[in-house]
Structure 1
């Protein structure tokens, strides 16, 4: 990427921190953005802190850099940014009102020295608590200064009043007058001492009153602090059992920083705690919730869904390994499934639904038919879909709007193939990402499915890993792929010939994943044959890969 002259100059300026006092006060507001970008890319946390502390705009957006192909900011730079935001609360030069960190971290911690989702969430909550403590400390100091100033004024008034009384007395003549003056002086001194003692007693009473009032105003403190939020902090929050208490405190208190959430991801959290989090989050701004490894059950999910309906912008729901096991012989399951359907019907803006390993065979119609609007993203891996489920999906009101479909690890055979072909035909004009990895597609099934796959002219990425295909089947797949002009990525399976001997005739995806490749076989020869097809068809824009772990469909967006 060719850098602009402004970017090159900004990188040079932030490289020397010792010169920052000279140039920082003369920087126009339109150059703060390039300088901050240069500080992030060059890993200059001191420059990041100084720029953020006196940020001249109302909004500062740092998130989403990975989607733009940039390296995510380092942990030190993010920590410097957060500390500077807290310092900027008392800096008159800072105009910041909204700090947007959405999309900053990767799903599982990012790469290199970047800050992951859990660490960023903990750091944000700590920042909110520290900002509140700083505000309270500043208020106490200001109150103490005001009390001392008031006491000094009162003391000065009392001294002037005592002196005025002493000077206003009559002065007798002669010797008697001198004695009277001495007596008046002694009386005046005694009165002055009594006045000082009285003032000291009044000050002690005042301090006691202030201490008593401090306890009584704790209930009103939240309202007082919440009435003047200085900076709203938007971010994607990642909460698990270790960070639950800190997140709960940060969302419960009020202060100069207000935490807002765009996407909420929770792991290993009970239903009651998830319910508490949802009640603490602001109603506006939450776009999606991701619940993982939490034993919800059908009843627990049915309990949470009504709470999700209070978020008007919520359009994404992801449930991964949440122990949703539907059994007809279990008491109350039918009623819970009915409640689940009614709860989904209240999600008016739902566009993305991801269900992983929920064990609800034969219940796809109950779930999807209750959604009021058609989905654009539907992920159903490890769901043990039945032929009836696939038949419903191919005819549902969602199929004509689907842009992303994941049916990985759902076994396909001759009975389900007609439903899959009908589904692909209905979604051919909108479907952009399709995953059929681990579906048990052999050469014969793939040959029947290839015409339908080739008809998806909007498809950008196709994943068919862990399917038992021979080298001939993989070659047929690639020849079909090069004829799809919109396709940019193809995740193909390793041919069966590349594995060590001993595999069964139709191995499962788990066997293909664990079975070692044959070291005597040149895997580069397979890649060379496939790349030769790309060269012959002049499809240099199509990426062929069998690397399942590093495959990322979002790279084509």
Structure 2
């Protein structure tokens, strides 16, 4: 109740504030967080900027996991936040860590800022912060040079007046000359008679040509202190690669750090360079997509990945790890790949999509610690692969398993049943979509599904099941106490005539549904089973696109 009242008041304040930082004088420190959340939710970039510029705490965290009812960040609000952080660096703001992890929304949806756009904006902020420091240093330097020039002109005028009046004593004249020569660095008699401005110009030229004064100044600027660290999830492709590289190599008041790195369609050498530039502490996951790595390329990257002590997630999607036994030295490369994976001591999540390595699952799972999340869709798993997985040390620790689009047959059912038996106490999410499960195969697997008492979600879309098979599936599902989501396929009776006897998942996806059939009838029959069992907390859906 109190939290709701604070949120309501915060929305009213950010909605009617006077667009001036003076209003923050009356705001207690503990109210900055609800005010910032209200400003983001209401789309008030001015309020977001003012709150961020005068943030009273050391850490400002504006991202986080998406929950039900959460909103995507407004692009203008995010930009105002980043600009305010740069401005706040010169205002002695208390901010030391800006955490943007999880802030981005879906790319291209409304006015939200996606992962790629947020990456570019964060990198631009880091570079602009250094440019701002350079401008400040230049202004301070100009101000100091003007002050020194004024002092020297005053000293020069006093000396000239004293010489004209003939009242200057030799000792005092020597002392004055010593003061001038000690400042300017010249010792010859001729230099003592020159004007101060001329001597300064000669000294500047001498420093530039002989001692490399300009490079020393640049080096001093490059080694400026880090005032705040910026943590973000970076999305790098060919368009953002150069911007990210510059930001990571920039030495300025803001230091860029990465939690999750996602790269798409860039070369192995560029990925290697990027990994070498990332800070070693804090990187939790790497996601490589649509890149022709090859087995040799992945084996080359693994030693770099092993240098990140906190890395617990590795995802490879459509990276073309095609294995050919007739290729020369392929076995040696696989051995290097196995040894590299074994060095990932903290890895807990491994996602491999369409890598075309049938029969090599033992190599890919040669990890010292058991995995908690294993996703192997479109991997063309062989019976030997499934047999190995069912007996591996990963089976009993799995919390999430995805074997979608790997065709299951009678010969592989013993391995699947053994795998589910080993994972029955830990498995929470299981996906067997597009695996070619018929009514008979599903009937043999239902007892194994029923043993997974911790199961929270089960996905069986795009399998050729009849209405009778679906009813058996739902009757099993209602007996699982923790199950909350069941993604079921459209029954074969709902499709137009002409389907093959054993249709593939692609055919089920493309084949039109029969308009003369009442599609809602299927949902009504399945939901009636839920009502009869009293399971109102179980969601049944056949919506593959919106299933999470």
Matching residue of 2:148: 150
Which residue of 244, 247, 250 maps to 2:247?
Answer: 250
Q: Identify if the C-alpha distance between structure 1 residues 450 and 239 changes in structure 2 by more than 3 Å, giving closer, same or farther.
A: same
Q: Is the 8 A contact 1:384 1:411 kept in 2?
A: yes
Q: Is the 8 A contact 2:207 2:213 kept in 1?
A: no
Q: Which moved more, 1:111-120 or 1:279-288?
A: 111-120
Q: Is the 8 A contact 2:21 2:50 kept in 1?
A: no
Q: How does 1:322-337 map to 2 (within 5 A)?
A: 322-337=319-334
Q: Is the 8 A contact 1:488 1:543 kept in 2?
A: yes
CA distance in 2, matches of 1:69, 1:332: 53
Q: Which moved more, 1:297-306 or 1:141-150?
A: 141-150
Measured after TM superposition, the shift of residue 218 of structure 1 is 3.8
SS of aligned partner of 1:289: strand
Q: How does 1:104-119 map to 2 (within 5 A)?
A: 104-106=103-105, 108-109=106-107, 111-119=109-117
Matching residue of 2:139: 141
CA distance in 2, matches of 1:304, 1:551: 33
CA distance in 1, matches of 2:240, 2:212: 30
Structure 2 unmatched ranges of 5 or more: 169-190
Matching residue of 1:132: 130
Measured after TM superposition, the shift of residue 221 of structure 1 is 3.9
SS of aligned partner of 1:264: strand
Q: Which moved more, 1:416-425 or 1:157-166?
A: 157-166
CA distance in 2, matches of 1:121, 1:262: 12
Q: Is the 8 A contact 1:387 1:415 kept in 2?
A: yes
Which residue of 120, 123, 131 maps to 2:121?
Answer: 123
CA distance in 1, matches of 2:220, 2:357: 46
Q: Identify if the C-alpha distance between structure 1 residues 5 and 226 changes in structure 2 by more than 3 Å, giving closer, same or farther.
A: farther
Which residue of 267, 271, 276 maps to 2:268?
Answer: 271
Measured after TM superposition, the shift of residue 64 of structure 1 is 1.0
Matching residue of 1:449: 445
Measured after TM superposition, the shift of residue 200 of structure 1 is 2.9
SS of aligned partner of 1:263: strand
Measured after TM superposition, the shift of residue 203 of structure 1 is 3.0
Matching residue of 2:381: 385
SS of aligned partner of 2:91: coil
**1:199 and 2:196 matched:** yes
Matching residue of 1:185: none
Q: TM-score, normalised by structure 1?
A: 0.91
**1:163 and 2:172 matched:** no
Q: Which moved more, 1:382-391 or 1:68-77?
A: 68-77
Matching residue of 2:312: 315
SS of aligned partner of 2:18: helix
Q: Identify if the C-alpha distance between structure 1 residues 223 and 517 changes in structure 2 by more than 3 Å, giving closer, same or farther.
A: farther
Measured after TM superposition, the shift of residue 111 of structure 1 is 4.7
Q: Identify if the C-alpha distance between structure 1 residues 364 and 61 changes in structure 2 by more than 3 Å, giving closer, same or farther.
A: same
Measured after TM superposition, the shift of residue 295 of structure 1 is 0.5
Q: Is the 8 A contact 1:65 1:71 kept in 2?
A: no
Measured after TM superposition, the shift of residue 217 of structure 1 is 4.7
Aligned length: 526
Q: Identify if the C-alpha distance between structure 1 residues 236 and 220 changes in structure 2 by more than 3 Å, giving closer, same or farther.
A: farther
Structure 1 unmatched ranges of 5 or more: 171-193, 553-557
SS of aligned partner of 1:327: coil
Q: Identify if the C-alpha distance between structure 1 residues 329 and 481 changes in structure 2 by more than 3 Å, giving closer, same or farther.
A: same
Matching residue of 1:44: 44
CA distance in 2, matches of 1:391, 1:515: 33
Matching residue of 2:96: 97
CA RMSD of aligned residues (A): 2.0
CA distance in 2, matches of 1:391, 1:280: 40
CA distance in 2, matches of 1:494, 1:222: 66
Measured after TM superposition, the shift of residue 236 of structure 1 is 0.4
CA distance in 2, matches of 1:304, 1:252: 20
Q: Identify if the C-alpha distance between structure 1 residues 337 and 443 changes in structure 2 by more than 3 Å, giving closer, same or farther.
A: same
Which residue of 502, 526, 531 maps to 1:530?
Answer: 526
Matching residue of 2:55: 55
SS of aligned partner of 1:15: helix
Measured after TM superposition, the shift of residue 197 of structure 1 is 6.0
**1:259 and 2:250 matched:** no
Q: Is the 8 A contact 2:432 2:459 kept in 1?
A: yes
SS of aligned partner of 1:90: helix
CA distance in 2, matches of 1:325, 1:464: 28
CA distance in 1, matches of 2:6, 2:62: 19
